[in-house]
Amino acid sequence: MAAADVEEPSAASTPLRVILIVEDEVLIRMLLSEALRQEGYVVIEAANADEAFLVLHATPNPDVLVTDVRMPGTVDGFALAAFVRQTRPELKVIITSGHAGPDGARGLADAFLPKPYELGAILGRIRTLTQPA
């Protein structure tokens, strides 16, 4: 087979990966969102868990939830992650925090990253979690 006969995988054959970012710090949310979009992910942003609940109700299958712990609203990131674990156990969860430690994330998250985190570290973790099985 000649090199010209080799077909590249089409975008249609690669499933889009949807990342839900829940972060009240606007600049952090924008930076991470832009980096993920440049990597080819579909990104949905929420400023707090209350907005995330609305997104989860309307979006059938996000692949990864990235949530901060402390943010305004009726619940924190731990409670959001607990809800996701109960209702959507297949949804991968990354918890980030500059205040809480990883102990609170046990059983709730696939990964915990303390803030400030390196952008490359969180992108690498998301890549790993979205690899096809």
Residue 81, Cβ density class (10 Å: 0-12 exposed, 13-18 middle, ≥19 buried): buried
Tokens 């096809």 map to which residue? Answer: 132
Residue-wise pLDDT tens digits, 9-43: 344 445 689 999 999 999 999 999 999 999 999 99
Residue-wise pLDDT tens digits, 95-105: 999 988 888 89
Q: Provide the CATH number for the domain formed by 16-129 in this structure.
A: 3.40.50.2300
E strands along 35-121, which residues?
42-46, 64-68, 92-97, 111-114
What is the rounded end-to-end Cα distance, in angstroms, of the chain? Answer: 29
Residues forming a β-bridge with 68: 96
Q: What is the pTM of this model?
A: 0.87
DSSP 19: E
Domains of the chain, residue spans = 16-129
